[in-house]
Amino acid sequence: MPEGRPPKREEVARVLDYLPYGRTPDSRSYQKQPLVQAVGETNFVLMEMTPKEGVVPAAGTRVYIGSGSRDVIDHVNRRIEFPELSNSAKLELTFQIQNIVLDNEARFLRYFNEAGPITTRMHALELLPGIGKKLMWAVLNERKKGAFKSFADLMERVKGVHNPEKLIAKRVEDELMDEKIKYRVFTTAPRIR
């Protein structure tokens, strides 16, 4: 994401969990409203939403949350942090991030094609779990021959890279779990409290 430009707002999210009785630590036992926990598809923002009355969205459901008419979600309540996710939502998160990456392969493949050095000793490719100096050089040498056309092309040409969607998903999760992580590649920084 270019520095200085505000992050693009989330338009679509993936449902992680449906909580029919709201948050557990909520002390109000009366008037508990159902909640949905979800992850945005653009910046992987974690959020809590109120579904429309009578709607029970399943995990993995893509829901429109942009301005205008909404079918499933009544409104977005707030942005949440990783520790606030339910256990079910935490388990679902990895799977849904991988789905988002696979559904937007060209967007994430661009990272392998365009990532550059961060410092004189560290390259942006090394931020992905499992990519060290040796694999980084293998990716850089192969991309000199031509841009990668797909994840399959990347895996074919660079023998040490397996399941790039899992590498990216793991990095996204690391960024979501650690609010003080030094380099953010795929997520927006949490709000300052």
Q: Is 184 part of any domain?
A: no
Residues 4-63: tens digit of each pLDDT? 455 578 999 999 999 998 876 655 555 678 999 999 999 999 999 999 998 999 999 999
Range from 27-41, 77-91, 148-162 carrying the lowest mean pLDDT: 27-41
Q: Using a pLDDT cut of 70, give the percent of the chain over it.
A: 90
Which comes out higher in pLDDT, residue 88 or 22?
Answer: 88
Q: Which amino acid is at 54?
A: G
Mark 9-24 as b/e (b = at least 16 C-beta within 10 Å): ebeebbbbbbbeeebe
Q: Is 5 part of any domain?
A: no
pLDDT of residue 167: 95
144 and 98 co-located in one domain: no
Q: Is 187 part of any domain?
A: no
48 and 89 co-located in one domain: yes
CATH at 167: 1.10.150.280
DSSP 8: P
Residue 106, pLDDT > 70, answer yes
Cβ partners under 8 Å of residue 74, min gap 6? 49, 50, 51, 52, 53
Residue 2, pLDDT > 60, answer no
Q: How far apart are CA 46 and CA 70, in angstroms?
A: 19
Q: How far apart are CA 46 and CA 29, in angstroms?
A: 25
Q: Is 160 part of any domain?
A: yes
Q: Is 191 part of any domain?
A: no
Average model confidence (pLDDT) for the chain?
89
* Residue 97 near residue 43, CB atoms below 8 Å: no
pLDDT of residue 1: 42
Range of the domain at 78: 12-102
CATH at 97: 2.40.50.140
134 and 70 co-located in one domain: no
pLDDT of residue 26: 54
53 and 124 co-located in one domain: no
31 and 16 co-located in one domain: yes
pLDDT of residue 35: 94
pLDDT of residue 4: 47
Structural domains counted in the chain: 2
Q: Is 3 part of any domain?
A: no
143 and 70 co-located in one domain: no
If pLDDT is split at 50, 70 and 90, which confidence band does 189 have? Answer: confident
Residue range 109-130: average pLDDT?
95
Q: How far apart are CA 145 and CA 12, in angstroms?
A: 36
- Last residue in a domain, options 68, 86, 102: 102
Sign of CA dihedral 34, 39, 43, 47: positive
Q: Which amino acid is at 148?
A: F
pLDDT of residue 22: 84
Q: From edge to edge, which strands make up the β-sheet containing 73-79?
A: 62-64, 12-19, 35-40, 46-51, 73-79
Q: How far apart are CA 128 and CA 168, in angstroms?
A: 6
